[in-house]
Amino acid sequence: MPPRPFLRPSGLATLLRQPAPAARPVSTPQSLTPRRHLSGPYGYTQAKSLVFSKFGEPIDVLSLHTHSISPSLPTGAVLLRALAVPVNPSDVNTIQGTYGVKPTFSPLLGTPEPSVIPGNEGVFEVVSVGPGIKSFKRGDWVIPTVTGFGTFRTHAVAEDAERILQKIGGERGSEGLTPIQAATVSVNPCSAWRMLRDYVDLIGHSVASFQQDTSTPGGAWFLQNGANSGVGRAAIQLGRLWGLRSINVVRERATQEDTDALKKELEALGATVVLTEAEFMDRSFGARLKEEFTRGGRDPVLLGLNCVGGKNAAAVVRALSPKGTMVTYGGMSRQSFPFPTGPQIFKRLRFEGFWLSEWSKENPAEKRETIDQIIELMRDGKFKPAPVQNVKWDWETDEKILKEAVQGTLEGFRSGKGLFTFGET
């Protein structure tokens, strides 16, 4: 069976500009994930990508681009097919032009105007490898390790593959894993892992606390808002695995029944305490924190994770113990948060910002190691991915369905983040 090539992020521009030959389905053997393949004349593979040529709302600026891919691979390149691709808030911000780094629009995609493919996270299957590839083989699952890879597409050609891709699962590969697990490992779980480990030695504080007072009822405390987010759920589970205690703040749902159900869901993941924003920001919370949770203040809250901003973030500052640290990694409320002078001076608080993209550039080896460790927790059933809303992407899937899935990422309460799952493409 001939190889099934994919769109590449750069190079072979003239091939990518060619009109797509008529596609025909080709039957393929069964495997762990459904195999599919649309082939044109001379072995060219038909592919589709979501692209944008100007910044704006996804529903207005995204379009579905069809192209054909040459079967020839340059040295160091691999051909990939998408298995599952999540839609993260940062992807939407990139399309809107409000993210920390703006992409460069390129003419190499063969679109009428220079464009870019959004998406930074996802899992792909290796279809074939070019000369010089030693780390990957056909059938391996891989994820991009660089920002701006462009995952909102059915196929990809990755040049310099051994630098920009990471094989999932080491020697065991994808055994015991699902595409959803692999597709969602590299952003939210990694962010939670690094923030819990890199700013305050919570595990060390836990050990010291037990050594000083054997009646201590649990490990060190951390506090987070946005606890129902992908990062929040990951932090809850990692905290439980590492013996930490957590105070988790969520927005009230439409009904008390829905709010109670969410609290129970997070408690089942390992949350010690789950509070609504109203409970957290009520004047009585300071007394509750002292008397109900921290044994009169003997068990300090030394780390706060903030992805909301505004008044919620100010409440996190009030809850932190002296010499505590607040790490901000998002601003979902879009409300400003001035650094308070008093707590910085008199409580000697520290304020940090975390941006996974920059951390990954500075620590590529640690990023790969973190992913490997989380993958093994997933494989062993010790870590659950966040809920998702599956959006099937087949060859005939209408452009509007895909655009609406991206647009809806930042709108209202959702049962899970959008996730493209690829069928017959």
β-bridge mates for residue 96, sequence order: none
Cβ pair 264, 210 in contact under 8 A: no
The CA distances from residue 302 to 266, 351, 376, in Å, are: 21, 12, 29
Where are the strands (E) in 108-236, listed by range? Answer: 123-129, 141-144, 155-158, 165-167, 221-224
Residues 6+ apart with CB under 8 A from 61: 52, 53, 54, 55, 95
Pick the catalytic residue: 42, 99, 199, 329?
99
DSSP H helical ranges for 82-171: 89-96, 161-164
Asked if 199 is an active-site residue, the reply is no
End-to-end CA distance of the chain: 17
Q: What is the rounded distance in angstroms from the CA atom of residue 154 to the CA atom of residue 69?
A: 12
Stated as kind and residue range, the H or E segment containing 209 is: helix 202-212
CB 420 within 8 A of CB 405: yes
Contact criterion met (CB below 8 Å) for 69 and 47: yes
Q: Which two tokens stand for residue 287?
A: 């007394």
Dihedral sign computed on CA atoms, order 83, 88, 94, 96: positive
Kindly list the catalytic residues: 99
